[in-house]
């Protein structure tokens, strides 16, 4: 796929800053990067999983999968540091999976609150220091509901409203996937705070 770079002094009409490059989109996901950071932009109407490959001049090759919300972009990801040089490439982009590892689940918490008119509210909070891709199917009165699910990348220490109704919900966890923010950070990361695990 073609890469183009903004070598001028002004931001391009599409938002590409000076000194940054971008790779042509794959399935509506594009890669934007400079000499230290990259981010993924998703123009589609669904969460997408992209595979990004980093090749260092030393010959070391590393690939990571990253999820990005619909009509959104990832935060900046560190792909080069110190004296390292190399190249970065978006390899594939597919719909984020409904089912995946649940390794992040022990530091995700379901929080219950009461909203306007005493409507019960259910939130998921991310206690990790990195984003987490979550996939949850929602059952109402023990019955699965059409189109009642969550597929979302939740930022560090953020929370997301996933249910607001008087009927009793049951949450079936399908995925809790830790997302890389730095190719140099220890992996897997340590949670920001220890909490009781969310109930699968």
The predicted structure's pLDDT at residue 124: 96
Tokens of 114: 């009461």
Whole-number percent of the chain with pLDDT over 90: 82
Instruction: Find residue 109's DSSP bridge partners.
Output: 125
Does 97 score more than 80 pLDDT? yes
The predicted structure's pLDDT at residue 192: 62
Q: What is the DSSP letter of 28?
A: T
pLDDT tens digit sequence for 21-33 = 999 999 999 999 9
pTM (predicted TM-score): 0.90
The predicted structure's pLDDT at residue 200: 45
Where in the sequence is the domain holding 134, given as residue range(s)? 105-178
The position carrying tokens 């971008």 is 22
Of 164, 162, 187, 163, give the one whose Cα is nearest residue 177. Answer: 187
CB–CB of 139/170 below 8 Å? Answer: yes
- Chain length of the chain: 200
For range 147-170, the mean pLDDT: 90
Query: What does pLDDT average to over the chain?
Result: 92
Count of the separate structural domains present in the chain: 2
Tokens of 66: 């990253």
Give the number of other Cβ atoms within 10 Å of residue 187's Cβ.
11
Q: Indicate which CATH number applies to the domain containing 167.
A: 2.60.40.10
Residue 84 sits in the same domain as residue 145: no
40 within domain boundaries? yes
């Amino acid at each position: 796929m073609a890469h183009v770079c903004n070598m001028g002094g002004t931001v391009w009409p599409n938002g590409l800053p000076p000194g940054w490059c971008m790779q042509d989109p794959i399935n509506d996901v594009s890669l934007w990067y400079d000499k230290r950071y990259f981010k993924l932009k998703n123009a589609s109407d669904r969460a997408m999983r992209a595979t990004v490959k980093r090749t260092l001049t030393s010959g070391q090759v590393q690939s990571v999968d990253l999820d990005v919300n619909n009509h959104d972009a990832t935060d900046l990801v560190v792909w080069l540091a110190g004296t390292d040089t190399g190249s970065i490439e978006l390899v594939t982009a597919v719909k984020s999976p409904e089912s995946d590892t649940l390794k992040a689940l022990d530091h995700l918490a379901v929080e219950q609150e009461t909203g306007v008119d005493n409507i019960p509210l259910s939130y998921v909070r991310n206690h990790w220091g990195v984003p987490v891709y979550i996939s949850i199917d929602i059952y109402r009165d023990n019955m699965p509901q059409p189109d009642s699910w969550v597929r979302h990348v939740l930022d560090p220490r953020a929370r997301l409203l996933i249910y607001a109704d008087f009927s009793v919900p049951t949450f079936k966890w399908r995925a809790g996937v830790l997302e890389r923010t730095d190719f140099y950070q220890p992996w897997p990361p340590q949670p920001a705070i220890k909490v009781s695990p969310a109930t699968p």
